[in-house]
Amino acid sequence: MTKRNPCAAHRGWSSRAPENTMAAIGLALSEPDIDWIEIDVQLSKDYVPVVIHDYKLRRTTNGKGKVNDWTAAELAMLDAGSWFSPLYRNEPIPTLEAVFQAAKGKCLLNVELKTDGVRYPLIEEQVLQLIRRWEMETGVVVTSFYAGALKNMSRLSGGSVRTGYIVDKWRDTLPAELADTGSDFISIDYRKLNKERVSRLNAAGVQIMAWTVNEEKAIRKITALDSDIIICTNYPDRWRSAAAAAVR
């Protein structure tokens, strides 16, 4: 039987429920073929890790201003679902701890730290505390566009927490950059991958997650490069259809 590529639900099953909510995460957890869930993490005003993508609240909630202008209790009162559908009215912004509680032992998590080194300088410490509290060291990879966050996490955790670099451009120096951050995982724009680049990353012992692969044609193209590439998608159902077609 042909080996299928692993699937990661991008911000939960975000084509069927509002992104980065427990509704979307719960849908992903209910599908046994989904191997990973990717989520985005920021800090509230009182330094609680919360799950939301944008730095500002307007697009996905009924709140205004920046995420870190609000306490965790205040953020929990916002409606993070109505923008997607009236069916999800009053769906709250979840805490990272709530996601750990739901996903532990069921699914691997790609936890993206939404930081640039200036914003959220304590985010690595706060996330690491939760990873240790929930004994999630083997259940997560902590990722970021900011290499400094990965170095901080590796240093603070003593290497017990796996880290991964997020990139939207290919550079021939990437294998060396990954080694410098202590990372063996890359989350990369799928359009930047080809056979030669995948081979280079494989040779360096780097696990590859390709984002955000939403069309079946693109899914088939990436799966043809290597059966180990994790397909990060808003549409796990399309990944499933592409995987089924590949084994016929």
CA distance 122 to 217: 41
Q: Bridge partners of 7?
A: 231
**Contact between residue 190 and residue 210 where contact means Cβ atoms under 8 Å apart:** yes
Helical segments of the chain, H only: 22-29, 72-76, 96-103, 123-133, 147-157, 174-181, 195-203, 216-225, 236-246
**Contact between residue 109 and residue 99 where contact means Cβ atoms under 8 Å apart:** yes
To the nearest 10 degrees (0 to 180), the angle between helices 96-103 and 123-133 is: 30
Catalytic site residue from 53, 66, 106, 119: 53
CA angle 157/160/165 to nearest 5° reads: 85
To the nearest 10 degrees (0 to 180), the angle between helices 123-133 and 147-157 is: 40
- Active site annotation includes 35: no
- Active site annotation includes 97: no
Using the Cα atoms of residue 68, residue 73, residue 78 and residue 80 in order, give the sign of their dihedral. Answer: positive
Amino acid at position 227, single letter: S
Catalytic site residue from 5, 6, 8, 10: 10
3-state secondary structure of 229: coil
Active-site residues, by number, are 10, 53
